[in-house]
Chains A and B, each alone.
Chain A
Amino acid sequence: MPQPNDRPDEIDGLLTRFFQAELPDPWPACPAPDEPAARVVPDRTTSWWELPQRFASRLSLALSLAVLLAGAWLLSGSFTGPSVPAVGSGTAAVQPMKVEIHSTTADRNHGRTPGSPNYKVNETLVQPKDGPTQMNIEIIDVGAPPRR
C-alpha cells in the first residue's frame, strides 16, 4: 500500500512545514523531577518549566480560604458589637443594656385553654459593656388556674 510520502504534493509540503515549525526546537531535555530546581518557575526565555496556571490558581484559592477562615475566627471570638447609646441620652455612651420581658401563659393563651398549667416566663437580655450578649430565661410555675 503506498505511503502518503510517496506522492508529495503542495498540501503535504505545507503540512510538513507547519507542523515542523510547531515542534519545539531544541527539544527540552529530560526533566529531573526529584530535584527542587527542576520545578522552579524559569525565566521568561523558556516556557518548559513555567509553573502551570492551575497551581497558581489553587494557591490563590487556598490563601482566600485562609483569609476567610481567619476573618470568621476573629469575628466570632472577642468581637463586641457596637455600643448602644442610652435611649434619650443623645450620647454614644457605652452602657450595659438590659431588656426584660415578662409574660404568662394566661396572657398568651387569653384563657383559651382552661385547666392548662399556668407559668410565668421572665426573659432577660443583658448586653454588658465588654462581653457577649446574655439571655436569661426564667420559668415560674404559678399553679393551675381555677376551673370554671
Chain B
Amino acid sequence: MTATPPPNPGSNGRIGPAHAAEASRRAEFEELYQRHSKEVWALAYARWMNADTALDITQEAFLRLWKQLEAGEPILNPRAWLLRVARNLAEDHAKSAFQRNGTQLPQVMNGVESRQLLPLERMEREEVFVQLREVLDELSTADREILTLRYALEYDTDVIAELLSINSTAVHMRLSRARQRLAERLKARGVAPVS
C-alpha cells in the first residue's frame, strides 16, 4: 500500500486546514482503492475478457472518483458508484475499440504467442486457456461477472450477491448453469481440463 506522505507544514510549521483536508482525501481514496479496485477490475474484465483493458478502465474509474472527492461532491455508496462508472466506461470502450480494431475482438490482439519454445505442459495449458476464453466469450457479461468474482477474487456467493444486488439463489443458479455450459462446450471441442 502506498504510504501517504505527510502534508508540508506552512511557514509557521503548522499544518493548515487545507493540508489536513488533502491528507484526509488521499487517505480515503487509498482505502477505497484497496477495498474495491479488484472488484472494479473484475467487472471490467468480465465485459472485455482482457486484463490490460480492465486495468485501464479501473484506472479511469478511480481517476474520476478522485475528481469527485477533490470537488467535494459526496458519494453515498462509493462501491456502487465505482461499479456503475466502470460498467459505463467498459461500454464506452466498445465504441473506441471498434474504431481502433474494426470487427476484431480485443482478445484477438492480446495473443500470448511467444517465439520461445515452451514446455509441452505449458503449451497444452495455453491451448486449453485459449479454448476456454472462446467459450467464455459465448456467455453473457452477467455470467462472466459472476465467474470472475468467484474464481478470480474467490468471493463466496453471498458477497457476490451483495455486490451485484441480486439474491444468493440467483448467484448459485447462474454459477451452476455457467459451469455446466462451459463443461459441455469444452467437451464438444474435445478439450479436457489440464491440471
**A residues at B contact (CB < 8 Å):** 1, 3-5, 10-24, 27-34, 47-50, 52-54, 57
Contact = CB atoms under 8 A, between A and B. Distances in A.
A33 B51 contact: no
B63 A30 contact: no
A44 to B, nearest CB: 12
Contact of B52 (A21, A47, A54): A47
Contact of A52 (B60, B153, B172): B60
Contacts of A5: 156
B157 A3 contact: yes
Interface string B21-51: 0000010011001100110010001000001
A19 B96 contact: no
Interface residues of B, number: 51
B172 A22 contact: no
Contacts of B37: 27-28, 30
13 contacts: A1-B168, A5-B156, A10-B192, A14-B194, A15-B132, A19-B148, A29-B1, A30-B2, A32-B2, A33-B29, A34-B66, A47-B52, A54-B96
Nearest to B150: A4
A5 B152 CA distance: 13
B175 interface: yes
Interface string B166-195: 001100100110010011001000001111
